[in-house]
């Protein structure tokens, strides 16, 4: 079932560490190549020799142990298709959430660019601690899969939530993620998010109400499906995949164009300003006695249209990049969207109504209609932006 798959298991110092011996056997029985790294504390609960025998591989504990040309944390991270940390203690969870790399395990996960599953196990009071919950939310929001602990009798004598979830659950989740991240189907997604910022002077700018949530949800989904993902955004955001921060429409265009040649899918979810100030002032514009101030604007490049033209001009080449635009309208949504897909020339156009407060700009929800080049369309009912992102990716890959 898992033939050819490389699974990296990180074990931290909790009593549930002993259960991972059986998990390793389950993966080995399914023909996976299993490598194990432990924190020093994990070895209080399970021996290195046991893990080595079961995984049939060297077990890593200390950094700088291996005699290879790459530093260990990079070689472990490069080799594995998936990493799972079980049991994950409150300590390790918090370190990962803050980017702390003070042992082999935390360094590896920091360098890891593929799916990560975290299965926490700890005392119930520690589990309920808002700091731990916040750290878990942070990890979940950047794409780590958290398998929540179960409730029951805990080794520390307490009764409550904190017991490592079942090994079957970890096993099945790993298989499901590996199946959906089949590297043969891996694509390169380039996704833009957020409103561009066009400076007027050093203190003022022209922008819009885009929060970047829709584009980020799309990038998270692409990444979760095992794709190489590049998010080009005006928003400050930390993700386990590559994020390129830009400000203006021109900067966004430069960044997207640089990725064009190697991209399989480009999604323009960003709200790009159509105009920028013609003569941006280097100094703060002073108030005068005039009642009016006129700003002269010039058109920004149409990034989406430029990409579609580029694709059109390269028709002779066999490479097929899918180009997806968004369409933000406050009236006549579908009529305007139909005109826009023809005008821009993209393969798909996702139309959303930005006059509604319960979807669109800044909301956690959206409701969209997907228009295809061939005239077909499909409405996606109101749902979280994550769910809408999932359905959009499914639709454009059919």
**213 contributes a contact to ligand PMT by CB under 6 A:** yes
Q: Which is nearer to ligand PMT, 47 or 384 (CB)?
A: 384
Size of the site for ligand PMT (CB under 6 A): 25
Residue 180 Cβ, how far from ligand PMT at the closest point, in Å? 24
Which residues have a Cβ under 8 Å from the Cβ of 9 and sit 6 or more positions away?
Answer: 20, 23, 24, 27, 34, 35, 36, 37, 55, 83, 84, 85, 86
70: nearest Cα among 79, 61, 62, 58:
79
Catalytic residue (choose from 101, 124, 156, 308): 156
Contact (CB, 8 A) for 339 and 298: no
Q: Which is nearer to ligand PMT, 63 or 367 (CB)?
A: 367
Binding region for ligand PMT (CB under 6 A) out of 61-69, 90-98, 128-136, 325-333: 325-333
Selected from 274, 309, 320, 339, the binder of ligand PMT by CB under 6 A is 274
Q: Which is nearer to ligand PMT, 127 or 361 (CB)?
A: 361
Question: How far is CA 25 from each of CA 28, 56, 173, 353, rounded to the nearest angstrom?
Answer: 5, 10, 16, 52
Residue 204 Cβ, how far from ligand PMT at the closest point, in Å? 20
Contact (CB, 8 A) for 87 and 121: yes
Q: What is the DSSP string of 282-305?
A: SSPPPP-S-S-----EEEPP-HHH
Distance separating the N- and C-terminal Cα atoms of the chain: 25
Residue 220 Cβ, how far from ligand PMT at the closest point, in Å? 12
**323 contributes a contact to ligand PMT by CB under 6 A:** no
- Sheet strands (E) in the chain: 6-11, 33-38, 59-60, 82-88, 116-120, 145-146, 150-153, 159-163, 188-193, 198-199, 205-206, 228-233, 242-245, 265-268, 275-277, 297-299, 322-329, 348-353, 365-372, 377-384
**191 contributes a contact to ligand PMT by CB under 6 A:** no
Q: Which is nearer to ligand PMT, 231 or 271 (CB)?
A: 271
**269 contributes a contact to ligand PMT by CB under 6 A:** yes
Q: Which is nearer to ligand PMT, 9 or 255 (CB)?
A: 255
Residue 211 Cβ, how far from ligand PMT at the closest point, in Å? 3
Q: Which is nearer to ligand PMT, 172 or 339 (CB)?
A: 339
Residue linked to tokens 């080449």: 317
Question: Please, which of residues 214-253 interact with ligand PMT by CB under 6 A?
Answer: 214, 249
Selected from 46, 266, 304, 333, the binder of ligand PMT by CB under 6 A is 304
Residue linked to tokens 């429409």: 249
Residue 201 Cβ, how far from ligand PMT at the closest point, in Å? 22
Question: Is 156 known to be catalytic?
Answer: yes
Selected from 362, 373, 378, 379, the binder of ligand PMT by CB under 6 A is 362
Residue 398 Cβ, how far from ligand PMT at the closest point, in Å? 21
Residue 350 Cβ, how far from ligand PMT at the closest point, in Å? 7
**Which two three-digit tokens encode residue 25?**
């056997």
Cα 336 from Cα 94, distance rounded (Å): 48
**341 contributes a contact to ligand PMT by CB under 6 A:** no
- The partner residues of 298 in beta bridges, in order of sequence, read 276
Contact (CB, 8 A) for 108 and 118: no
215: nearest Cα among 22, 26, 386:
386
Please give the residue ranges that form the binding site for ligand PMT (CB under 6 A). Answer: 210-214, 249, 268-272, 274, 300, 302-304, 325-328, 352, 354, 360-362
Supply the residues annotated as catalytic: 156
């Amino acid at each position: 079932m898992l033939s050819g798959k490389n699974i990296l298991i990180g074990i931290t110092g909790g009593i549930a560490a002993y259960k991972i011996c059986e998990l390793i056997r389950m993966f080995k029985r399914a023909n996976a190549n299993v490598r194990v790294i432990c924190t020093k504390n994990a070895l209080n609960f399970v021996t290195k020799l046991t893990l080595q025998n079961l995984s049939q591989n060297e077990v890593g504990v200390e950094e700088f142990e291996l005699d290879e040309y790459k530093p260990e944390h990079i070689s472990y991270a490069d080799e594995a298709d998936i990493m799972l940390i079980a049991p994950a203690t409150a300590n390790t969870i918090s370190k990962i959430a803050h980017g702390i790399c003070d042992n082999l395990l935390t360094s590896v996960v920091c360098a890891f660019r593929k799916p990560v599953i975290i299965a926490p196990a700890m005392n119930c009071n520690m589990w309920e601690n808002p700091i731990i919950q916040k750290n878990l939310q942070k990890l979940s929001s950047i794409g780590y899969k958290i398998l929540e602990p179960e409730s029951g009798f805990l080794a520390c004598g307490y009764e409550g939530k904190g017991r490592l979830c079942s090994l079957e659950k970890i096993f099945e989740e790993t298989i499901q993620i590996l199946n959906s991240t089949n590297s043969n189907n891996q694509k390169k997604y380039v996704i833009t998010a957020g409103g561009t910022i066009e400076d007027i002077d050093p203190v003022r700018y022209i922008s819009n109400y885009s929060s970047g949530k829709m584009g980020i949800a799309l990038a998270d989904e692409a990444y979760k499906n095992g794709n190489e993902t590049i998010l080009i955004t005006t928003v400050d955001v930390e993700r386990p995949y590559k994020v390129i921060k830009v400000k203006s429409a021109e900067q966004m265009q430069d960044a997207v164009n640089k990725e064009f040649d190697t991209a399989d899918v480009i999604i323009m979810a960003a709200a790009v300003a159509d105009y920028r100030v013609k003569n941006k002032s280097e100094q703060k514009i002073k108030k005068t006695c005039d009642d009016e101030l006129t700003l002269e604007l010039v058109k920004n490049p149409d990034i989406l249209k430029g990409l579609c033209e580029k694709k059109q001009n390269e028709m002779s080449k066999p490479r097929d990049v899918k180009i997806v635009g968004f369409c933000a309208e406050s009236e006549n949504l579908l009529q305007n969207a139909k005109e826009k897909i023809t005008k821009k020339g993209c393969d798909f156009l996702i139309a959303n109504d930005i006059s509604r407060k319960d979807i669109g700009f800044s909301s956690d929800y959206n409701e969209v209609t997907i228009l295809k080049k061939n005239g077909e369309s499909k409405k996606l009912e109101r749902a979280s932006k994550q769910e809408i992102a999932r359905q959009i990716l499914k639709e454009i890959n059919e």
